[in-house]
Structure 1
Amino acid sequence: MRILSLRLIVALVFGVTLVSVVSSWYQVRTTKDALRLDLERKAETFSDSLAVIPEPYLQRGDIAGLLATLHRFDGRDHLIGTTVYDRNGFILANTGNIRSLTRTTPQIIRDAIARNSTETNYMRSGFRRLYIVAAPIPAATEDMAGGILVVYDTDYIRAQVFHIWIQAFAHIALQVLVIVAITLLIVRWSLVGPIARAAEWMKRLRTDRHAQPPSPKDLDFLSSLAKEVAPLAESMRQARAAAEIEASLRNRNESVWTAQRLADHVRNKLGGSNLFVVSNREPYIHSRQDGAIKVTIPASGLVTAIEPILCACNGTWIAQGSGNADREVVDSHDCLQVPPEDPKYTLRRVWLTKEEEEGYYYGFANEGLWPLCHMAHTRPVFRTSDWSYYNEVNARFADALVEQIADEQAPVVLIQDYHFALLPRMIKERLPHARVAIFWHIPWPNPESFSICPWQQELLDGLLGADLIGFHVQAHCNNFLNTVDRVLEAQVDWERFSVRHKNHWSSVLPFPISVDFLEQGTVKTDSNTAEERSQLIAELGIETTYLGVGVDRLDYTKGIVERFLAVESFLERHPRYQGRFTFIQIGAPTRSNIPQYANFQRDVENEAARINERFGRGRWKPIVLLSRQHSHKEVERYYRLAHLCMVTSLHDGMNLVSKEFIATRDDLRGVLILSLFTGASRELRDAIIVNPYDTEATGEAIAQALEMDVSEIADRMQRMRNAVSDHNIYWWAGNLIGDLCDLRLSRNTVLKTTIDVTRRAS
């Protein structure tokens, strides 16, 4: 660092000196030229005026009078002296100390007389620098009477220039001293300090698994480096934490699923085969903002679970290109390598027109299948045009997938969600040697509800092209099998939960999805949490004591209005909490171009306003509605500081908000109020389970949560954290892909391996 500082100082001194010298030279040159120009102008004017004086004196022969007149001008404006010559070059009168110049007739006076014009010249006399003006003396009767020589001293110009150089060097010296001092301070504060903090951070990374990165402000200009190091640091932290947990659990003959274990497990299961993932949403979105292309990663547990596998096996992810700069970064085959910072697998983008997206995604998928599968009392809308687009888009993805698979010997295909119900059959017919699985992330309704769909047979036939069909819970598997049994000519094996259709076996199994979970190992003190909570309350501009939180998309299946009614009932029945309890609803707008969603968003806003108007007073509000997208980091803060979290879905496949809340609460505080209509309620038995349609009972659950003993809260939270830790997102992906790879394929049928269905059903 000392060598760097010395080099920096030397470079700055040299640069400042060079710039200052050049600047001073220019100033000197400009000043010198200005002084000379001023002298020349004055001298010429004065000599012209002086040239008319001698002629009358010469006519009278009054040399003494001429000398007296000329002496009056001695010393004016650096004038040394004057000499009057006749037209033959003989001296008639002489003033001042210029005898060395007038011993002989200067050539300049001869030229002035001969040419009848004023002549000027700079010259040296000994150590003196002079400026000479020679002008002809006009005569009354002849052309001229002679000439006059005017001599000026120019040493004052040299003195002025020298003075400027002295000042310049003084300024240079002062500037150098100031700049060196400032540089040393900057190096110490903005270079040495950040480097020291970065070094300390890296040291803590090496020795402490809980090292927190300094803020960008602390790192100053090293923020770019910090951005690059932060992901590496987080990977190190997670790897170290996972290794410690696994080592701890290994002592108890237990194990935990981590990204590395998942990657190793699936790599072994694939046995050299490649994995191909299909989803509607892409893992990386390229958008042009402020003239530059920026990459965003959608908040998705699916990306967390699947990406480590694709990185491990150099797989391919096929998804719709949705960013406004997505086309700018792909190659001629619509592919690019991701992750951007360390490319390890291929992202293949499929392009849809606006009409296709409206019909396939917003139309059939979200106005048809979504309300059909969620028993939330919203009527499904089925249009023939939407169904046509749904077929076209599924076929488009099938083409892209077949193109990517090419000559793969044993490809493994994992299809995600209800957007691609027809895709498994399309793939299986064209690539019968491929192992194909589809995971249905939303509930599957009972046969009576599903029979509403005009194309139920086609959807079921498409799904049964898969070798493995996964749902969150066993109840959804049962509903699916019952639907198949009623609608299709198919053989349903209830013992092994499988279906034989068109001479092809499909296993139907539960795989409850989860979240990334690593033990944090540090428990925040109550005082720290209380201080952070007070800061958050101040930022919200309210006054309150207790906080509840809900995190949802503004979707009619999430029970947000019912949740608000429960808060209203709670405040009615427990008035002592009025002015002390505030419920924060984080509601991300979604699918706003669908009328049901736009209407629902207005209903949520109106209900929150009504309750606030009824109970609100001063700065206290019973409900704070935050209708915007929040990052995962922002949401975690609310999870961590809330006294309770409400998940009151009217119908949900799993609902990961409940598990995210639990994973965040390493302080073993906070109470989860959970709808019995979520898949998560099968696993998280220590939550307060409620029926969201019973608003009074749900309101009483709020009171129970706020008044629960601290030790009971900790016990409940610890048990739920154990459940989420044991069955995290990596466990989900490992089991799903592992079971798919364990299926042995033949030409006409699938010979299934024995799978422990009871384990998953429990």
Structure 2
Amino acid sequence: MARLLLVSNRLPVTVKVEKDSVAVVRSPGGLATGLSRPHERSGGVWIGWPGDVSRLSDSQRSQVEAQLAGLRCVPIHLSASEVARYYEGYANRVLWPLCHYMLDRVPRQDRDWDVYRKVNERFADLVAKHYQPGDTIWVHDYQLMLVPGLLRQRLPDARIGYFHHIPFPSSEIFRTLPHREELLEGLLGADLIGFHTVSYVRHFSGALLRQLGLDTDIDRVIWNGRQVRVGAFPMGIDTHVFESLAEDPSVLEDVASIRRNAQGQRILLGIDRLDYTKGIPRRLLAVQRLLEREPAWRGRLRFIQVAVPSRTQVDAYATYREKVNELVGRINGLYGSVQNVPVHYLYRSFNEKQLAGLYRAADVMLVTPVRDGMNLVAKEFCAARPDEDGVLVLSEFAGAADELHRALVVNTYDVEAVADAIEQALEMGESERRERMRSLRAQVKQHDVHWWVASFLDRLQGLPTLSLRSTRGGLEALTDLKGAPHLSLLLDYDGTLVGFAPRPELAAPDDELLALLGKLVARPDTSVSVVSGRPRETLEAWFGELPMGLYAEHGLWSRPAPGQPWQMLEGVTIEWKGAVRAVLESFAARVPGSFVEEKSASLVWHYRQVDPEFGALQARELRLHLADTFARQPIDIMPGDRVVEVRPRDVHKGRVVPQATRGLPPDTRVVALGDDRTDEDLFASLPPGGLAIHVGNKPTRATYRVSGPAEVRQLLAALVAP
């Protein structure tokens, strides 16, 4: 298998110091467990932060470095300031709450962005240093969202994957980030971007469409001439570990002890990091509500809530801890007695063996985050129940809810409904409990962490190899252009010479463009033609005074030189227009902001002013409807940049080339510039020696590529510069 370079914020190790000796030990956890096998088998390295080793002596640090090397771990050492600003600051004070829909927790000032970016650059530099041709790179999580794009700059032909372990929010939430475009462009450096659920994939696609204007075609999006794949890969756990622990004799002794101490009470269990996304206060309120409305359960319930300390240096977490403490005290004060209290609150860490004992002892497991990327606790509970008993109450806002359908799925924000679910779980009969748990265990065992790793890597490594150097920068074409004895320039208009406007009439040429075209047509041994989808009346009004060729409606109409009459292609029929117009107008009526533009032999439905996500869905529906309804008509249905155009079949820009180049010297270099699918027909029809320049990031047959109209003008200005 290919060598694997794993990249994560933290290395999968813990540095333990005992007097003068230090030891580097592997950390527990799903990611470390799942990736250990491919890490070892591939002979690759794992790159990340080993934790704070600044207080170690030189000798101790040397020991740590040697032990890390033995584990094939490459450390990136972060200063205290970098940790405070990159990790605790931007990653966990900005990205974490935003991705969990908690905008009120995002700081008012985005002070830590620069440090986040610089640390991501340090990670990319270190990965590039260790990269060997043929390696596969897998970057993990929100702390490193810029790394794939930075790596693509450094390693254009590398195979790069990225996995987002937390929720990806809706585009409406994501758009509130000041640096939203940079983060999206960072992720698009990957070949494959993975999320836990289909809904996160949909949210990511919506953000791409809204922020970058990129439309996702099922599971792929085009960026800088590359196909970037996106997909849902729900992460699992090492089920064998928890299943084995649950049968361990010492664990079974702990289970018996927990149940004895409960003295016949039914045991509710919650196990979470003490994080404001986990919904602990609402869970406590649901337990309180059950005890309040159903006095019969008082004294018969024991709710064990394990809260693992988390991000204790962040103020928001300290405040959250105080809130949880107050709720626990209030409930125990209201419903406790001298002999017993309903809530047993444990603020500390537990090892896997202790967790397995708690899982096995519980009657009901409460996993009720207000938002969670996946939540592996829910899966651990199922794996730790080989007795096929116990009931899982699971928030619909956890990614795991997409898989664990036989749990009691609840709306965490509805405290009354959560209380109802707890009561339902407590009163559930044995046969139903076992049927539900068997189904849950089958799902968890089939899709474990090893399945997750294999499915992602198989997809990533199975993608076709693309040479990203197939197109070169447009300014590199200058030598070819200036060296040609004669030039014929065929220029698209919208998206090439000018940017797109909300309505077609708003994209008229500015004075700078008209002056540039004037210089081009005055350049010796140079002919210029505008080849556009615009109506002939528009091109005549804008450019009729310039001595150049005009070709309208994608070549349907031609006027090779000023003063000559416009000529239409022969054999074109437009009998279909009335029926097609009716369909387009019906779509325009039901999609506010869209409109229909009619040309002499074509129709265009524009949706640039429509909500991007809704407009894209409607455009797909329109194209399918047109293709089905008019399958026998001689028309082509062309998707464009926020448009759907219906035009006569076999009318395309490629038919312009013979007319535009007729009578030119044989040593003329024919050069075409364009930005969309219609221009690919033009590129394909260029004579031998012709030169095509694509404008934008779509796949193209062109040899050269420029980013947009500004760079097109820069190229043309350089061509006419003295």
Residue in 1 aligned with 2:14? 285
Q: State which structure, 1 or 2, has the greater radius of gyration over its C-alpha atoms.
A: 1
Residue in 2 aligned with 1:71? none
Provide closer, same or farther for how the CA distance between residues 328 and 584 of structure 1 changes in structure 2, counting only shifts above 3 A: farther
SS at match of 1:449: helix
Q: Is 1:308 the equivalent of 2:37? A: yes
- Pick from 142, 150, 174 the counterpart of residue 450 of structure 1: 174
SS at match of 1:308: helix
Residue in 1 aligned with 2:164? 440
Report the AA paired with residue 630 of structure 1.
F
Residue in 2 aligned with 1:518? 240
Is this contact kept in 1: 2:367–2:377, CA < 8 A?
yes
Q: Distance in 2 between matches of 1:332 and 1:695?
A: 52
Q: Distance in 1 between matches of 2:17 and 2:253?
A: 39
Q: Is 1:392 the equivalent of 2:112? A: no
Provide closer, same or farther for how the CA distance between residues 592 and 301 of structure 1 changes in structure 2, counting only shifts above 3 A: same
Q: How much does 1:452 deviate? A: 1.1
Residue in 1 aligned with 2:468? 748
Q: How much does 1:748 deviate? A: 2.5
Is this contact kept in 2: 1:544–1:620, CA < 8 A?
no
Of 587-596 and 281-290, deviating more is 281-290
Q: How much does 1:595 deviate? A: 1.4
Residues 351-750 of structure 1 aligned to structure 2 (within 5 Å): 351-376=77-102, 378-381=104-107, 383-405=109-131, 408-490=132-214, 492-495=215-218, 497-518=219-240, 532-533=254-255, 535-536=257-258, 545-748=265-468
SS at match of 1:279: strand
Q: Distance in 1 between matches of 2:102 and 2:389?
A: 32
Q: Distance in 2 between matches of 1:281 and 1:529?
A: 30
SS at match of 1:674: strand
- Pick from 23, 28, 31 the counterpart of residue 299 of structure 1: 28
Q: How much does 1:745 deviate? A: 2.2
Q: Distance in 1 between matches of 2:241 and 2:34?
A: 17
Report the AA paired with residue 728 of structure 1.
D
Report the AA paired with residue 236 of structure 2.
S
Report the AA paired with residue 284 of structure 2.
F
Q: How much does 1:677 deviate? A: 0.6
Q: How much does 1:624 deviate? A: 0.8
Is this contact kept in 1: 2:391–2:425, CA < 8 A?
yes
Provide closer, same or farther for how the CA distance between residues 583 and 315 of structure 1 changes in structure 2, counting only shifts above 3 A: same
Q: Deviations over 1:95-137 (max 9, x none)?
A: xxxxxxxxxxxxxxxxxxxxxxxxxxxxxxxxxxxxxxxxxxx
Is this contact kept in 1: 2:255–2:360, CA < 8 A?
no
Q: How much does 1:329 deviate? A: 6.1
Query: TM-score scaled by structure 2?
Result: 0.62
Is this contact kept in 1: 2:360–2:385, CA < 8 A?
yes
Residues 202-213 of structure 1 aligned to structure 2 (within 5 Å): none
Residue in 2 aligned with 1:100? none
Q: Distance in 2 between matches of 1:532 and 1:631?
A: 13
Is this contact kept in 1: 2:22–2:60, CA < 8 A?
no
Report the AA paired with residue 718 of structure 1.
R
Q: Distance in 1 between matches of 2:145 and 2:79?
A: 20
Residue in 2 aligned with 1:754? none
Is this contact kept in 2: 1:543–1:619, CA < 8 A?
no
Provide closer, same or farther for how the CA distance between residues 291 and 553 of structure 1 changes in structure 2, counting only shifts above 3 A: same
Report the AA paired with residue 363 of structure 2.
H
Structure 1 residue ranges without an equivalent (≥5): 1-266, 268-272, 751-762
Is this contact kept in 1: 2:245–2:353, CA < 8 A?
no
Q: How much does 1:483 deviate? A: 0.4
Q: Distance in 1 between matches of 2:148 and 2:250?
A: 52
Q: How much does 1:410 deviate? A: 1.0
Q: How much does 1:563 deviate? A: 0.3
Report the AA paired with residue 493 of structure 1.
T
Q: Deviations over 1:666-690 (max 9, x none)?
A: 1111110000111111111110111
Q: How much does 1:413 deviate? A: 0.4
Q: How much does 1:297 deviate? A: 3.4
Provide closer, same or farther for how the CA distance between residues 306 and 327 of structure 1 changes in structure 2, counting only shifts above 3 A: farther
Q: Distance in 1 between matches of 2:231 and 2:335?
A: 48
Is this contact kept in 2: 1:514–1:728, CA < 8 A?
yes
Aligned residue pairs total 468
Q: Distance in 2 between matches of 1:694 and 1:474?
A: 24
Of 505-514 and 697-706, deviating more is 697-706
Report the AA paired with residue 361 of structure 1.
Y
Residue in 1 aligned with 2:570? none
Q: Distance in 1 between matches of 2:412 and 2:171?
A: 24
SS at match of 1:494: coil
Is this contact kept in 2: 1:583–1:624, CA < 8 A?
yes
Is this contact kept in 1: 2:22–2:63, CA < 8 A?
no
Provide closer, same or farther for how the CA distance between residues 533 and 621 of structure 1 changes in structure 2, counting only shifts above 3 A: farther
Residues 189-204 of structure 1 aligned to structure 2 (within 5 Å): none
Residue in 2 aligned with 1:348? 74
Q: Distance in 2 between matches of 1:664 and 1:521?
A: 5
Provide closer, same or farther for how the CA distance between residues 332 and 434 of structure 1 changes in structure 2, counting only shifts above 3 A: farther
Q: Deviations over 1:176-212 (max 9, x none)?
A: xxxxxxxxxxxxxxxxxxxxxxxxxxxxxxxxxxxxx
Provide closer, same or farther for how the CA distance between residues 333 and 749 of structure 1 changes in structure 2, counting only shifts above 3 A: farther
Q: Distance in 2 between matches of 1:311 and 1:329?
A: 26
Provide closer, same or farther for how the CA distance between residues 543 and 417 of structure 1 changes in structure 2, counting only shifts above 3 A: same
Q: How much does 1:749 deviate? A: 8.1
Query: TM-score scaled by structure 1?
Result: 0.59
Report the AA paired with residue 551 of structure 1.
I
Is this contact kept in 2: 1:489–1:501, CA < 8 A?
no
Q: How much does 1:404 deviate? A: 1.2
Q: Distance in 1 between matches of 2:266 and 2:59?
A: 49
Q: Distance in 2 between matches of 1:672 and 1:657?
A: 11
Provide closer, same or farther for how the CA distance between residues 620 and 544 of structure 1 changes in structure 2, counting only shifts above 3 A: farther
Is this contact kept in 2: 1:553–1:587, CA < 8 A?
yes
Q: Distance in 2 between matches of 1:673 and 1:507?
A: 34
SS at match of 1:518: helix
Provide closer, same or farther for how the CA distance between residues 654 and 326 of structure 1 changes in structure 2, counting only shifts above 3 A: farther
Q: How much does 1:291 deviate? A: 3.7
Residue in 1 aligned with 2:5? 276
Provide closer, same or farther for how the CA distance between residues 323 and 692 of structure 1 changes in structure 2, counting only shifts above 3 A: same
Provide closer, same or farther for how the CA distance between residues 360 and 328 of structure 1 changes in structure 2, counting only shifts above 3 A: farther
Q: Deviations over 1:625-681 (max 9, x none)?
A: 100111121111111101110000101111000000001001111110000111111
Report the AA paired with residue 536 of structure 1.
I
Is this contact kept in 2: 1:368–1:382, CA < 8 A?
no
